[in-house]
Amino acid sequence: MNCDIICDLLPLFAEGMASDKSRELVGEHLKGCPNCRKALAGLKAELPTGEQAALPLKKISRELKTRRLLTGLWAMFLALALATSILSALTSPRYAPYQAGLFTIHQAGGLLEVTVRDGYRANLISESVSREERGGIQLYSLEVFSYPLDKGRGQGELTLRAPVDQGSRAAVFYLEPDREDRLVYGPDPFPGGGRMTLPRLALAYYLALALIPAVFLGLLLLIFRKKEKARRVLTVLIGLPLSWIAGHLIIKGFTTISREMLRDFIFIAAAACFLFSAWVVRQGFTQRGGRTRL
C-alpha cells in the first residue's frame, strides 16, 4: 500500500482509534516499511502520557468542586440570615395594652407583689430615684408582654416580687409603647403632670454609621472602577456597611426605635455577619473570571 495513505492513517493507528481493517492494513505495511515505522514512533513520542492527558480533566473537576462548595456556602449563609430574621420575629415581645384584670398588685410591709394573668410574662423594674426626691415614694415600672410561641400554652399565673424600702410607699407605672405611662398602683409622684418612657434610639445611630461609609465606599468604587485590584478590595469592603443595613431591615424593618436594645442589636449583628459572609462568597464567584453567576 502507498506510504502516503498509511501516513494518513498513522495518527488514528497510534491513538487506537482506527477500525480493525485499517489496523490490519497498517500493521502489514509497517512490517516492511522502516520509514513508516519511524513516523509512527515519532507520533507516539508526541502523544501525552496518561497523567498529562488527565490534567485538564482534573482541573475541570477541581473547578466544579470549588463552585459547588461556594454555591453551598452562599446558600447556607443566606439561609442563616433568614433563620435569624425568623427567630427574631418569634422571640420579639408583644406588649399587652392595659386592661382590667390583666394583673393585680399589693404591698405587704417591705414587699411589693405583682400577679400577672395566665399566658403573659412581665418585667417589674425598680427605678433608680431616691425616695427623698419623690417624697418617700419608691417608683416601679411594669411591662406585661407575651411571645408568639407562648399563645395557648397555659403556663399559669406569674408572680413578681420586689423589695420596698422601709418607710416608703410604692408607686407602679404601667408601660405601653407610644403611650403615656399609666399609674396603676400607689400615690402619684407627678401630681402636676404625667410621664412617658421613651424607647431607645441607638439603632438609628448605628444605621447612620453604616450609611456614611457605604456612600463613601460607593464613591471610591465609582472613581476606581477601572482599576481591577482597587475595585475588588472596595467591592468587598462596601459589603460591610451594606450588610449591616440589610440586617437592620430584615430584623427591624424601617423603624429604628427599640424597647429591647441589646436583643435587637445582637440579632442585627448576627444577620449582618451572615449576609456579609454571603457577600464575600459571591465575590469569590465573581473573581474567578466571571464564569459563574449566582
The predicted-structure confidence for 87-112, as pLDDT tens digits, reads as follows: 999 989 899 999 989 999 998 878 99
Cα 275 to chain centroid, rounded: 4
Please tell me the predicted confidence (pLDDT) of residue 275: 97
Mean pLDDT by 10 residues, the chain (294 residues): 77 77 84 83 66 53 78 93 95 90 89 91 82 72 88 73 86 89 89 77 91 95 90 93 96 89 94 96 68 42
Please tell me the predicted confidence (pLDDT) of residue 294: 40
Give me the helix-helix angle, 20-31 and 3-14, nearest 10°.
Answer: 120
Strands (E), 85-168: 94-95, 103-108, 111-116, 121-126, 137-146, 158-163
Please tell me the predicted confidence (pLDDT) of residue 291: 46
Please tell me the predicted confidence (pLDDT) of residue 278: 95
Strands (E), the chain: 94-95, 103-108, 111-116, 121-126, 137-146, 158-163, 169-174, 182-185
Q: Burial code of 159-168, b = ≥16 C-beta within 10 A, e = fewer?
A: ebebebeeeb
Please tell me the predicted confidence (pLDDT) of residue 285: 66
The predicted-structure confidence for 21-50, as pLDDT tens digits, reads as follows: 888 888 888 888 888 888 878 777 665 555
The pTM for the full model equals: 0.68
Residue ranges of domains in the chain: 3-47, 58-90+201-286, 95-185
Please tell me the predicted confidence (pLDDT) of residue 23: 83
